[in-house]
Amino acid sequence: MADVDVRMTVNGVARRSTVPPRLTLADHLRSTCGLTGTHLGCEHGACGACTILVDGDAVRACLMFAVQADDTEITTIEGIADRDGRLSVVQEAFREHHGLQCGFCTPGFVVSVTAFLRDNPDPSDQEIREALSGNLCRCTGYQGIFAAVRAAADALRATDADAGAAARDGSHP
């Protein structure tokens, strides 16, 4: 069972490793890369706690082998906030709306929502609920999470509108 060389960019950092083929991408990120924010809640693709971005797409890190991520660009929860630690709009909204309690499922939600709002900047409530349905939370009853996503969507649109207006004015925001 020969080990395999893989190269991937994780949160902007190029990484080379030699991994056993059966090593899941989630375990690779947690153990080899030391990025423990990607959590394992079920290891069978149902809870969403391990959600990461692979080439921009939100995917379950437990449903990929590290070898399948060769030559990809990966963003984990650790890569969502600014480098100086400033929370993203989505993270800030989760904090503001009590969208987390124990915090174990939270990285998966934040990563999923980040991708969802990027692709669906003006979601209906029903679209938000459906987008969240692939992540399980046992603490919040989804109340604060839903409110956070609604608020983040509105905040991101407002930011975009301001930026758009600024661009039209020729001024800088």
Partner 1 sequence: MTAAARYAGARVQRVEDARLLTGHGSFVDDVVRPGMLHAHFVRSPLARGRITGIDVSAALALDGVHAVFTAEDLNPGVREPWYSLVGPKVPDTPRPALAEGEVRFVGDPVALVVAVDRYVAEDAAALVVVDYEPLEPVVDYKTATGSEELVHAAYPGNVAGTMSGRPAEQLAEVFASAAHVVEETIHQQAYQAVPMETRGLIAEYSAHDGGMTIWASTQVPHEVRLFCSRALGLSEHRVRVIMRDTGGGFGQKALPQREDLCVMLAALKVPAAVKWIEDRQENLSSAGQGRHEHGTARLAFDADGTILAAALDHVQDAGAYPVPWPVMTAVVVGMLFPGPYRVPAATFTCTSVFSNTNGRTAYRGPWQYETLAREVLLDVAARGMGIDAVELRRRNLLRHDELPVTNPNGMPYSDISPLETFEHALEILDHESFRREQAAARAAGRYIGVGTSSYVEPTTSGRGFHGTEGATIRIEPSGVVNVYVSGGSSGNSLETTAVQLTADALGVDIGQVNTIQGDTAVTPFGGGTGGSRSGSMIAGAVAETAAGLRERLLAIAAHRLEAAVEDLELADGRAQVRGTPGAGLSLAEIADIAYFDTRKLPPGVPPGLEASGRYQAQSPTIWANATHVCTCEVDVVTGAVTILRYIVSEDCGPMINPNVVEGQIAGGTVQGIGGALLENSVYDEDGNPITSTFVDYLLPTSTEVPVIEYGHVETPGPGPGGYKGVGEGGAIGAPPAVVNAVADALAPFGVTITRLPMTPASIVALLQEAEANQGVRV
Partner 2 sequence: MKPAAFDYHRPDSLEEAVTLLAELGDDAKVIAGGQSLMPMLAMRLAAVDHLVDLRRVGELQGVVDRGDALWIGAGTTQAAIQRSADIDAAVPLLTRSTPLIGHFQIRNRGTLGGSVAHADAAGEYPAVALTLDAEIEASSVRGRRAIPAGDFFSGWWTTALEPDEVLTGVAFPRWHGRSGFAIEEFARRHGDYAIAGATVAVELDDDDRVRRCSIGLFGLAPQVERAAAAEAALVGTVAGDVRADEVGETAVSGLDSVPSDLHGPAEYRTRVGAAMVARAWEKALQEARNG
Where along the sequence are the contacts to partner 1 (CB under 8 A)? 20, 22-23, 30, 35-44, 46-47, 49, 76-78, 80-81, 85, 87, 91, 94-96, 98, 100-107, 110, 128-130, 132-146
CB atoms within 10 A of CB 77: 25
Name which of residues 50 to 109 contact partner 2 (CB under 8 A): 51, 57-60, 62-65, 67-68, 70
Strand segments (E) across 61-115: 72-75
Residue type, 114: T
CB of 89 to partner 2, least distance (A): 20
- Applying CB under 8 A, among 9, 20, 104, 142 the residue interacting with partner 2 is 20
116 binds partner 2 (CB under 8 A): yes
* Four-CA torsion 164, 165, 167, 172, nearest 10 degrees: -110
139 binds partner 2 (CB under 8 A): no
CA–CA gap between residue 41 and residue 122 (Å, rounded): 30
Q: Are 42 and 62 in contact (CB under 8 A)?
A: yes
For partner 1, the closer CB: 72 or 91: 91
CA distance to 7, 141, 148, per residue, from 4 (Å) = 10, 42, 41
Residue 100 binds which entry of partner 2, partner 1, none, CB below 5-8 Å type-dependent: partner 1
